[in-house]
Amino acid sequence: MAYTYDPENIFAKILRGEIPNTTVLETDHALAFRDIAPQAPEHVLVIPKGPYVSIDHFAVEASADEIVDYMRAVGQVCQQLGVDLGSGGAGFRAIANAGSNGVQDVPHLHVHIVAGRPLGPMLVRD
């Protein structure tokens, strides 16, 4: 089975400049912007610029340059928000939903950085 990327997904449109966003950080291979429906005082999405559906797709097929740049961007966003542990920040949650069981709505890899309040247990049982 191969990964299938839909170039009409909403984050692809954001990357092409067809839909506006509130950018927090842009690097060679990553874009970070505020979630349109924040779940906490800070809620930023970090996406790769390349056409990757999910974190497993990215981890398996992205180049080393893309992976390094993207992971550094995650760290830089945490620093920019002041939530990184390195500067004594109060922490955050990094979430990458994937596929139907992961309840991923947008099929372009995004790591949610959620912060600004205690976030409670990681998962709530139905």
Output 62 or 114, the one with its CB closest to ligand 5GP. 114
Active-site residue flag, 112: no
User: Should residue 56 be labelled a site residue for ligand 5GP when binding is judged by CB under 6 A?
Assistant: no
3-state secondary structure labels for all residues of the chain = CCCCCCCCCHHHHHHCCCCCCCEEEECCCEEEEECCCCCCCEEEEEEECCCCCCHHHHHHHCCHHHHHHHHHHHHHHHHHHCCCHHHCCCCEEEECCCCCCCCCCCCCCCEEEEECCCCCCCCCCC
Residues in 14-53 at the binding interface with ligand 5GP, rule: CB under 6 A: 19, 21, 33-37
Least distance CB 105 / ligand 5GP (angstroms) = 4
Q: How far apart are CA 123 and CA 31, in angstroms?
A: 27
Output 8 or 63, the one with its CB closest to ligand 5GP. 8
User: Should residue 106 be labelled a site residue for ligand 5GP when binding is judged by CB under 6 A?
Assistant: yes
Query: By C-alpha distance, which of 49, 55, 47 is closest to 77?
Result: 47
User: Should residue 105 be labelled a site residue for ligand 5GP when binding is judged by CB under 6 A?
Assistant: yes
User: Should residue 10 be labelled a site residue for ligand 5GP when binding is judged by CB under 6 A?
Assistant: yes
Stretch binding ligand 5GP (CB under 6 A), from 52-60, 66-74, 76-84, 100-108:
100-108
User: Should residue 68 be labelled a site residue for ligand 5GP when binding is judged by CB under 6 A?
Assistant: no
Q: Which residues bind ligand 5GP (CB under 6 A)?
A: 10, 19, 21, 33-37, 97, 103-106
